[in-house]
Amino acid sequence: MEIRDKILVVEDEKSISNFICTILDANDYKYITAANGKKAYAIISSHCPDLIILDLGLPDIDGMEIIKMVRSWTTTPIIVVSARSREKDKVEALDLGADDYITKPFGTSELLARIRTAIRHTRTSILSKEIAQSGKYCVDGLVIDYDKYRVYIDGVDSNLTQHEFKLVALLGKFAGKVLTYDFIIRELWGSTQKTDNQILRVNMANIRRKIEKNPAQPRYIFTEVGVGYRMIEGD
Ligand code: CA
């Protein structure tokens, strides 16, 4: 029998907490709940959950502080579920180390998809940090060949430049996750000093011209406005 993943739900609003737990229960996840930050801390250190679903507006400690604390000693995935919809909040949460960010109100299938992605990514990183950097990533006609440094669309080489390839390769490695502009810039150019997002936007526009049938309505790489980019996830 498969071991069921244990999810900690940190949420002070009873109705939302119940809603999330009902979804988890119906989909064979185990769950524990915490209605405030202090209880969340205690559970995280004593129960080692496989994933944390985190509200930001808690009565005692702000959720951002919890992300910081958790990230100082564990890589347990964190999905922020918050009413705060400003880009600034999403960027802050993701840069502090949250794995994903869902804005309330949200749908059942959206939540489940994000949970699967977050859990899968920890598994791969535990198994092997390098696994996604060799071999191929294939989804819906797009193939990233990590060994040949090439991206193919329906079997045809997209002729990406080196930087364009690196950007697509990075998004492919974290497919399904939003990567913030800062994270991408840091990974690709090795520094955040005075980098603006312009260079990234130009690269992305060029990539989309090469890999998307309709660059205005991309099907492989999505823009999270003001936050970053997300590559479509394969099966
Ligand atoms: Ca709240």
Interval 143-179: pLDDT, tens: 999 888 899 999 999 999 888 998 999 999 889 989 9
Residue 46: what pLDDT?
84
* 100 Cα to the center of ligand 1, angstroms: 17
* 178 Cα to the center of ligand 1, angstroms: 23
* 145 Cα to the center of ligand 1, angstroms: 43
* 74 Cα to the center of ligand 1, angstroms: 24
Q: What is the pTM of this model?
A: 0.71
* 39 Cα to the center of ligand 1, angstroms: 14
* 158 Cα to the center of ligand 1, angstroms: 46
- Calculate helix-pair angle for 108-127, 14-26, nearest 10 degrees: 70
Q: Are 100 and 117 in contact (CB under 8 A)?
A: yes
Q: Are 11 and 33 in contact (CB under 8 A)?
A: yes
* 112 Cα to the center of ligand 1, angstroms: 20
- Calculate helix-pair angle for 63-71, 37-47, nearest 10 degrees: 20
Label residue 223 by pLDDT band (50, 70, 90). Answer: very high
* 45 Cα to the center of ligand 1, angstroms: 22
Best CA proximity match to 108, nearest among 20, 42, 2, 183: 20
Tokens linked to 102: 């869902």
What's the rounded Cα separation, in Å, for the pair 117 and 20? 17
User: Right CATH number for 6-124 from 3.40.630.30, 3.40.50.2300, 3.30.360.10, 3.40.1160.10?
Assistant: 3.40.50.2300
* 54 Cα to the center of ligand 1, angstroms: 9
* 224 Cα to the center of ligand 1, angstroms: 23
Residue 128: what pLDDT?
43
CATH class of 127-231: mainly alpha
Tokens linked to 143: 């193939």
> Is it the case that residue 2 has pLDDT exceeding 60?
no
Residue 59, classified by CB atoms within 10 Å of its CB into exposed (0-12), middle (13-18) or buried (19+), is exposed
Domain locations in the chain?
6-124, 127-231
Mean pLDDT for 6-17 is 96
* 148 Cα to the center of ligand 1, angstroms: 47
Interval 88-132: pLDDT, tens: 999 999 999 899 999 999 999 999 999 998 888 776 655 444 434
Weakest-pLDDT range from 26-30, 68-72, 117-121: 117-121
Choose between 46 and 100: higher pLDDT.
100
